[in-house]
Amino acid sequence: MAITPVALKAYAQAAQATASREKVRAAASATETQARSFSETVRQSLASVNDLQQDKAKLIEEFASGKNQNVHELMIGLQKASLAMELTAAVRNKVMNAYQEVMRLQF
């Protein structure tokens, strides 16, 4: 029973994907060992939300001008930005509720 070239290519791609996953895991564990402050984490999160919003505006502009006709890419970008903004608003609301609860405490 011979192994077809398609099967060999699939096995090679699977091996490469496994190797790249291991590299990502190693990088993630190295990053986790470095402690970040809360303010730094919030700042980075807000910066990434801002980047998504800017990407959204750029995608809309390119689509409207006719530079990019890929509707799928546009919709994915819009959804990413929307979800990031909704999550940011939800986190803000939870933080505000926690702050108000702490302020109600009597010492």
- pLDDT (tens digit per residue) in 6-59: 666 776 777 777 767 777 677 766 666 566 788 898 899 999 999 999 999 999
List the domain boundaries for the chain. 1-34, 37-107
Q: How far apart are the C-alpha atoms of 80 and 58, rounded to whole Å?
A: 14
pTM: 0.60
Q: Which residues are CB-neighbours of 55 under 8 A, at least 6 positions away?
A: 77, 80, 81
Distances (CA, A) of 58 to 9, 52, 61, 74, 77: 37, 10, 5, 10, 10
